């Protein structure tokens, strides 16, 4: 049963993050179970896990649907990221980031830059997510990954990289490289400052691009592609 639940969780999660299941899409247990060739119990458990991740809303007596956000939701999400991710970067720098982690981060940066050059935005999104997670892990704070899980998903589903022009993309890639430089130098203030600028720039760009798409009272489905 645990393996079946894990399978359902991973498949539905990828459906959401890839945009196959857009914001607001109903996720019926029976339909998913038939599609996946599973019973309804592991599908139900998978949807509950996705609800805990912040990807799915489980509605009493109405099943589940892919979560969607209002402008107020996004303001809160990026406010939390602007508090927690700079803290993670500063803590990682203070503790000292090992060469293996720095090598991984540099390779992720290089991979993102190659993907940008090749216009592979899905790859940029995947590598960018791994970059942010690696820094959170490097902070050594075991509670941070759980705290950040739900707020990290919103930009993934909103497809931020599709919304970047060349200047915004270049700035984002430069921020990544500078964060790694700050970690390599063991400079917490520098790492914290760059990560805060990175998250704030992401929030400002998304806010400007979504003018008319989202309001504080009404949410509109938008395409998926990746977190900043």
- Contact (Cβ atoms closer than 8 angstroms) between residue 108 and residue 82: no
Residue-level pLDDT at 214 = 46
Residue-level pLDDT at 124 = 87
Residue-level pLDDT at 159 = 60
Residue-level pLDDT at 157 = 61
Spatial CB neighbours of 85, under 8 Å, sequence gap ≥ 6: 132, 135, 136, 148, 195, 196, 198, 199
Residue-level pLDDT at 60 = 78
Cα separation of 221 and 224, whole Å?
9
> According to DSSP H, which parts of the chain are helical?
2-18, 29-36, 40-53, 71-95, 99-117, 121-138, 144-158, 166-185, 188-209
CATH 1.10.10.10 fits 2-66, yes or no: yes
Neighbours of 30 (CB within 10 A): 10
For the stretch 88-121, pLDDT in tens is 999 999 999 999 999 999 999 999 999 999 988 8
- What CATH number does the domain located at 71-209 have? 1.20.120.530
Strand partners, 119: none
For the stretch 215-227, pLDDT in tens is 444 443 443 444 4
Domain boundaries, the chain: 2-66, 71-209
Cα maximum dimension of the chain: 54
Spatial CB neighbours of 202, under 8 Å, sequence gap ≥ 6: 78, 155, 160, 172, 228
Q: pLDDT 10s per residue in the chain (228 long)?
A: 679 999 999 899 888 876 678 778 899 999 999 999 999 999 999 999 998 877 888 887 778 998 887 778 888 888 999 999 999 999 999 999 999 999 999 999 999 999 999 988 878 888 888 899 999 999 999 999 888 876 776 666 666 677 788 999 999 999 999 999 999 999 999 999 999 999 999 888 877 766 645 444 444 344 344 445
- Contact (Cβ atoms closer than 8 angstroms) between residue 20 and residue 55: no
């Amino acid at each position: 049963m645990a393996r079946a639940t894990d399978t359902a969780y991973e498949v539905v999660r990828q459906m959401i993050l890839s945009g196959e299941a857009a914001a607001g899409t109903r996720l019926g247990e029976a339909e998913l179970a038939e599609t996946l060739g599973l019973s309804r119990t592991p599908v139900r458990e998978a949807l509950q896990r996705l609800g805990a991740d912040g990807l799915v809303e489980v509605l009493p007596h109405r099943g589940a649907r892919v979560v969607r956000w209002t402008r107020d939701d996004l303001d809160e999400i990026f406010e939390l990221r602007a508090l927690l991710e700079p803290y993670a970067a500063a803590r990682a720098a203070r503790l000292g980031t090992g060469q293996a982690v720095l090598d991984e981060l540099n390779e992720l940066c290089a991979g993102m830059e190659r993907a940008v050059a090749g216009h592979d935005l899905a790859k940029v999104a995947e590598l960018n997510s791994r970059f942010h997670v690696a820094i959170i892990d490097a902070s050594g704070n075991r509670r941070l990954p759980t705290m950040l899980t739900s707020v990290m998903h919103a930009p993934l589903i909103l497809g931020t990289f599709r919304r970047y022009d060349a200047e915004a993309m270049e700035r984002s890639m430069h921020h990544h490289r500078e964060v790694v430089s700050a970690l390599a130098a063991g400079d917490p203030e520098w790492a914290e400052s760059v990560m805060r600028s990175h998250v704030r720039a992401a929030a400002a760009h998304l806010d400007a691009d979504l003018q008319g798409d989202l309001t504080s009272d009404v949410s509109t489905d938008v395409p998926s592609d990746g977190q900043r």
